[in-house]
Amino acid sequence: MTLNEYRTLFVTVTLSLILVGASPILSFVLTFPRGERFSELWVLGPGHMAEDYPFNVGTNETYKIFLGIGNYMTSSCYYMVYVKFRNQTEPLPNSTAGMPSSISALYEYRVFIRDGETWETPITFSFPQVSFFENRSLVEALTINDVTFNVDKSALWDFNLTGYYYQLFFELWIYNTESNAFQFHNRTVWLWLNATRNL
């Protein structure tokens, strides 16, 4: 080997050792691309499984579900979940346009979640006042976690599905540090509820 070849080999080996030794330090300085950034929103049934969700509901019975959020946004995030209640004619969120439902929220959760972590909480709900007349039902009140709300929402009898249908749904919002405000995160889950148990 010539002197230039030894010199090239020495420089190459030295630089390789420096890079290997410095790689843990570089990981703190350099940001490498990661996988897809996303958040999860889910509802589980009373047995903490994706089954046995409340469906046929009646007055003065308490129902239990679990609400959860998963953060995979590559940084800690501040989330808000709006709990809303609708009949068949009221608007759902528009996922294509990324717009939330215009229905007012009854209840909300605010939670700070680190990247890669999840949060979950039990929710109880009941219907203390439901009335029926002709081919219409009226849900006058809804109780969520022992807080009662006057909702006054009516539904027409659905002859095809034989029931009075409502939805309890959950919208996920995320705090935007640039605008210093929560914005709709385009994640929604819901439960269909048939208010015919007391007929």
Domain-located, residue 161: yes
Task: List pLDDT tens digits, range 153-180.
Answer: 999 999 888 899 999 999 999 999 999 9
Q: What is the pLDDT of residue 82?
A: 98
pLDDT for the residue numbered 182: 97
Structure tokens at 150: 């006057």
Specify the pLDDT at position 61.
Answer: 94
Query: Whole-angstrom Cα distance, residue 97 to residue 166?
Result: 23
Same domain, 3 and 69: no
Q: For residue range 25-80, list pLDDT tens digits in order.
A: 545 544 545 568 999 999 999 999 999 999 999 998 999 999 999 999 999 999 99
Supply the pLDDT for residue 27. 52
Q: Does residue 140 share a domain with residue 63? A: yes
pLDDT at 11: 56
Q: Which domain holds residue 16?
A: 1-32
- Is residue 83, in this structure, part of any structural domain at all? yes
Q: Which of 116, 121, 118, 131 has its CA nearest to residue 170?
A: 121
Q: Quick check: is 199 in a domain?
A: no
Same structural domain, 66 and 162:
yes
SS3 29: helix
Q: What is the structure's pLDDT at 34?
A: 56
Tell me if 188 is assigned to some domain.
Answer: yes
Residue bearing the bigger pLDDT, 196 or 43:
43
**Reduced 3-state DSSP string for 34-83:** CCCCEEEEEEECCCCCCCCCCCECCECCCEEEEEEEEEECCCCEEEEEEE
Are residue 107 and residue 18 in the same domain, yes or no? no
Residue 180 lies in a domain: yes
Residues 92-109: what's their mean pLDDT?
95
Pair (114, 25) in one structural domain: no
**Does one domain contain both 12 and 62?**
no
Q: Is 157 domain-assigned?
A: yes
Same domain, 24 and 86: no
Residues 27 and 77 both lie in one domain: no
- The reported pLDDT for the residue numbered 70 is 97
What pLDDT, on a 0 to 100 scale, did the predictor assign at position 17?
58
Question: What is the C-alpha to C-alpha distance for residues 93 and 167, in angstroms, rounded to an integer?
Answer: 12
Q: Is 182 found in the same domain as 145?
A: yes
How many structural domains compose the chain? Answer: 2
75 and 20, same structural domain?
Answer: no
Does 80 reside within a domain?
Answer: yes
Q: Is 77 found in the same domain as 17?
A: no
Sheet holding 165-176, edge to edge: 107-113, 77-87, 165-176, 181-194
Residues 103 and 67 reside in one and the same domain: yes
User: Could you report the per-residue pLDDT of 101-140, keeping only the tens digit for each?
Assistant: 999 999 999 999 999 999 999 999 999 999 999 899 999 9
What pTM value is reported for the model? Answer: 0.80
Tell me the average pLDDT across 178-195.
Answer: 96
CATH number at residue 114: 2.60.40.10
Residue 176 lies in a domain: yes
Residue 161 has what pLDDT? 84
**Helix/strand/coil (H, E, C) string of 93-158?**
CECCCCECCCCCCCEEEEEEECCCCEEEEEEEEEEEEEEEECCEEEEEEEEECCEEEEEEEEEECE
For residue 60, what pLDDT is reported? 84
